[in-house]
Every structure is written in C-alpha cells, then in structure tokens.
Amino acid sequence: MNNQRRSMLKFAPFALARLTAKPVFGQSDSSNSVMTPLFFDVRVYGATGSGRTLDSPGVNAAINAAAAAGGGTVVFPAGTYLCFSIRLRSQVHLYISQGATILAAASPLPGQTTGEMGGKYDAAEPKTAYDAYQDYGHNHWHNS
C-alpha cells in the first residue's frame, strides 16, 4: 500500500497542472499555436553538475532556450552546479531535483577583475535617487 501511495504522489503535480485554466507543460493554447517543449535539462546545454567546472553558461543557455520556446521548465538533475549570475526569464520555471545544488562561485578578490575560473558576476545597476531609502538589494538585481 505504501509503495502505491508513493507512486501516485510522484505524478500528483502533473495531475494538478492538468486542472489549471491556462495550458502548461508543453500544451499550446488557442492564441499561440507554437508547442513548447516540456523540459530543458541543463546538462544538454553544457552544464556538468560536477562542482568543479563553471556551469553558469550552460544554465543560462537552457534558460534562454526555454524562453525562446515560449516558456518551459529548466531541470537541474542531481549534482553540484558551480555558477556565477543566472539570468532568469519570463515563463521559465526552475526545477531543482533532489540531490541538486546550485553553488555560488567565488567572487573576485579585492584588486582582481575575475573570480573563480575567470568568471564574474553581473555588474549592479547604476545608483538611483531612491537608493538612500531602501536596502541595496531592492534596487540592484543583476548582481544578486
């Protein structure tokens, strides 16, 4: 009985998605005849998940592919993904599988221009007039 329940629960999110009013998971709607793929595996786009190689280019490529297809789910299989900035896009969902970790790469040290493996994080946005009234992170998203 327990195994049957576990088996059923594995597919519960897909059953709930089917009940939503807006099409999801690779279905097309009447206003957009383009069929979007279901999943985009970051390893297909160059990420290794080894924790020893820089994976942010592969992760960003998978996100861009999902966005270009009109949306989708970017999947991180089990592994450690060493990343600098990950650029999120509209209609793109991230699925971090059990056993998957996104690890922040080491930033450049003072006086250096690049960090771990020659990479770097995106620069912060320019200062604005309302910076004095909010936490720095509220105004500067690109380098978070």
Phi, psi (degrees; rounded to nearest 5) at 96: -100, 105
Lowest-pLDDT range of 20-29, 93-102, 106-115, 132-141: 20-29
Reported as a single tens digit per residue, the pLDDT across 62-101 is 999 999 999 999 999 999 999 999 999 999 999 999 999 9
Percent of the chain with pLDDT over 70: 67
Asked whether residue 144 is domain-assigned, the answer is: no
The closest alpha carbon to 70, from 117, 119, 23, belongs to 23
The predicted pLDDT at position 137 comes to 63
Which pLDDT score, from 0 to 100, does residue 101 have?
97
Split into its structural domains, the chain has a count of 1
Residue 14 in any domain: the answer is no
Which SS3 state, helix, strand or coil, does residue 72 take? strand
Please report where in the chains the tokens 């592969």 appear, as a residue.
58
Predicted local distance difference test score (pLDDT) of residue 136: 65
Domain extent for 105: 25-139
Lowest mean pLDDT among 26-35, 36-45, 109-118: 26-35
8 belongs to a structural domain: no
Tell me if 11 is assigned to some domain: no
20 assigned to some structural domain:
no
Residue 3 domain-assigned (yes or no): no
CATH number of the structural domain spanning residue 117: 2.160.20.10
